[in-house]
Amino acid sequence: MESQELIAALRAQLDQVEAQGAQQVQVSALRKYLGALEKDAGASQDYRNREHAGMLAHYSAKNEHSIEMLKAVLEAGKSALQALLIIHGGAAIALLGVMSNLAGKDGGQQLARYLALPLLQFGIGVLVGAAGFALRYFSQACLTESKQPNDKFHVWGGWFRVGAIASAFIGYCLFGLAVVNAYQAVVWSFPR
């Protein structure tokens, strides 16, 4: 029980005694009443301490959960961009090997020419993946500098994050398009 509550309870009891016509209070009755209030105040303090500790534990657990989720999201984004770089880079290297082998053979020049577009798309995919890493870095740098949810660093960080997500999406779409174009190049080069 807070001190203001204690004073209010004491005044209410005194008003009740006075309303009954009494002008004096027995010291023993007052001591008994104060003892009951003291016991209630101690229990109330324990309750408030327990409730406060519970709220702190809940806040700490919620904060820890948010931090772990942020780490998981950052790691997933990093993995997606790394995979994008690996698949585009590997495909570009493989396609360069095929094209260099075809360039020296009869009829291979036509297929090599058709494979130039998928090679360009795989190369652009590597560039898009690298740009995604840069945007991811800028996003984290801005959000780290942000002091309030609506300051310029927070807003820029949000835009850089959207750019990083968009670059990953574009990169994966570009990979699919390059695979389809490579398939079409082989089909066009070897008609049935």
Alpha carbon distance 94, 86 (integer Å): 12
Task: Annotate 83-137 with three-state secondary structure.
Answer: HHHHHHHHHHHHHHHHHHHHHCCCCHHHHHHHCHHHHHHHHHHHHHHHHHHHHHH
Count of domains observed in the chain: 1
The burial of 128, by beta-carbon neighbours within 10 Å (0-12 exposed, 13-18 middle, 19 or more buried), is given as buried
Residue 2 has pLDDT above 70, yes or no: no
Range of the domain at 56: 3-189
Q: What is the pTM of this model?
A: 0.66
Average pLDDT score over residue span 144-165 = 90
State pLDDT tens for residues 32-84: 877 777 777 666 667 778 888 899 999 999 989 988 998 898 899 899 999 99
Say what percent of the chain tops pLDDT 70: 95
Q: What's the confidence (pLDDT) of residue 113?
A: 85
Residue 154 has pLDDT above 70, yes or no: yes
What 8-state DSSP symbol labels residue 178? H
Query: Which is more confident, 25 or 78?
Result: 78
